[in-house]
Amino acid sequence: MDILEVKALNKVYSGKVATQALTDIHLTIREGEFVGIMGPSGSGKTTLLNMVSTIDRPSSGEVRIGGQNPYNMRKRELALFRRQQLGFVFQDFNLLDTLTVAENIVLPLTLDRRPLKEMDGLLKQTASKLGIEGILNKRIYEISGGQRQRTAIARAIIGSPLLLLADEPTGALDSQSSRAVMESMAEINEKDGTTLMLVTHDPVAASYCNRIVFIKDGKLAAEIHRGENRQAFFQKIIDMLSFWGGNTSELSSIRV
């Protein structure tokens, strides 16, 4: 089953000088896939993610998530749709300082007025999946960046979304935390079969995906699939980046 279908998507930012951010994008993500979107800065990765995550409207073309077109929904329906069908992980976590870790995680469920017992059960289950049971009663400013991102992932998956969207989830983390976060995401993908779409320019993070789509100047440029070996996949990503990116200095942050 196709979870995400993007057809002939165009995005133009109007202004004094109109900018064509995305041109004729076609992209399909099947259930259980873990797809990475890569490309140099300004290539349109985040624009594409914004279209998929229903935050921004396309200029033309169609986006279907689980067979539904979110842009035909009314505002309130859309909010519900985001809450129940999509999960979000952001580079800067977007957690509420005012809440504890546990409260942050269950927030989407409380908005849906789920029974307390069910929330407690789901919370326990999700927290143990991400290894954050020990910090549930801590406040956000008391925990590390990696723990914050795993809290954000827990919040994103607690409602069992159709599609989990991640925007540079490792962008603000050190390599150790990055690895822990990416391993959690890969595990969610493998064990629970959650469909993921990841936008990143970190090749290490990208190497956890099944498939990577490259974008350059708002157009689809290439696509590579992962084989058995992650190390080999990583090398392939580096090669693709240096080919499509055309500028090796962008790869200076490689970490293995």
Partner 1 sequence: MNFPQFAFNNVRRNARAYVAYLLSSSFMVMIFFTYAVFVYHPKIANSEMGNMTRVGMSIATAIVYVFAFFFVMYSISVFLKSRNREFGILTILGAESRQINLLIFLENILIGAVAIVTGIAAGLILSKVFLLVSTKVIDLDDLPFYWPAKAILLTAGAFILLFLFISLFTLMFIRKRQVLDLLTGSSKPKKEPKANVFTFLLGIALLATGYWALHGKKLDELGLLIAAVTGIAGTYFFYSQLSVWIVKKLQRRRSAAWKGTNLLWISEMSYKLKDNARMLFLVTVVVALACMSTGFVLASQQAIRDSYMSNPFNFRYTTYSDGDQKKAEKDLAYIEKSLGAEGMEYRVAKVDLIPDNSYAAGKEKTVLISQSQFNHLASVMTIDPVEQLGQTESVLVQTPERERKYPPQGNNMDVRIADSTYAFRFVSRTEKVASLSYTGKLLVIQDEEFERLKREHQAWGDYIQNTTVYMAPDSGKFPGKEDPETKLGLELAEWNRSGDHGGFLQSRAENYYSFKQTFSLFSFIGVFIALIFSVSSASFLYFKLHTELSGDAVMYRSLSKIGLSSREMNVSATIQIAVLFFIPIAVATLQSLVVLGPVMEMMNSMSPVYVPVITASAAFLAVQTVYFLVVRARYIKAVDKTMV
* Strands 211-216 and 34-38, sheet pairing: parallel
Shortest distance (Å) from residue 156 CB to partner 1: 8
- Binding to partner 1 (CB under 8 A) within 43-72 occurs at 53-56
Q: Do the beta carbons of residue 237 and residue 203 sit within 8 Å?
A: yes
Site string for partner 1, 74-93 (x = CB under 8 A): -xx--xxxxxx-x-x-x---
94 touches partner 1 by CB under 8 A: yes
In the list 11, 155, 201, 236, the residue contacting partner 1 (rule: CB under 8 A) is: 155
Helix axes 116-130, 145-157, angle to 10 degrees: 130
- Of 254, 251, 188, the C-alpha closest to 41 is 251
Q: What gap in Å lies between CA 67 and CA 70, rounded to an integer?
A: 9
Phi, psi of 108 (to 5 degrees): -60, -35
Which residue in the set 99, 143, 222, 251 belongs to the binding site for partner 1 (CB under 8 A)? 99
Among the listed residues 162, 213, 212, 166, the one whose alpha carbon sits nearest the alpha carbon of residue 192: 162
Q: Residue 221 CB, nearest distance to partner 1 (Å)?
A: 28
CB of 190 to partner 1, least distance (A): 24
Contact by Cβ (8 Å): 170, 178:
yes
Q: Does 116 bind partner 1 (CB under 8 A)?
A: yes
- Residue 92 DSSP one-character state: T
CB of residue 97 to partner 1, shortest distance in Å? 5
Residue of 1, 16, 72, 113 interacting with partner 1 (CB under 8 A): 113
CB 234 to partner 1: min, Å: 30
Q: Which of 107, 143, 172, 186 binds partner 1 (CB under 8 A)?
A: 107
Q: Which listed range, 8-16, 102-110, 184-192, 240-248, lies at the site for partner 1 (CB under 8 A)? A: 102-110
* Structure letter (DSSP) for residue 251: G
125 binds partner 1 (CB under 8 A): no
How far apart CA 91 and CA 89 sit, in angstroms, is 7
Smallest distance from partner 1 to CB 82, Å: 4
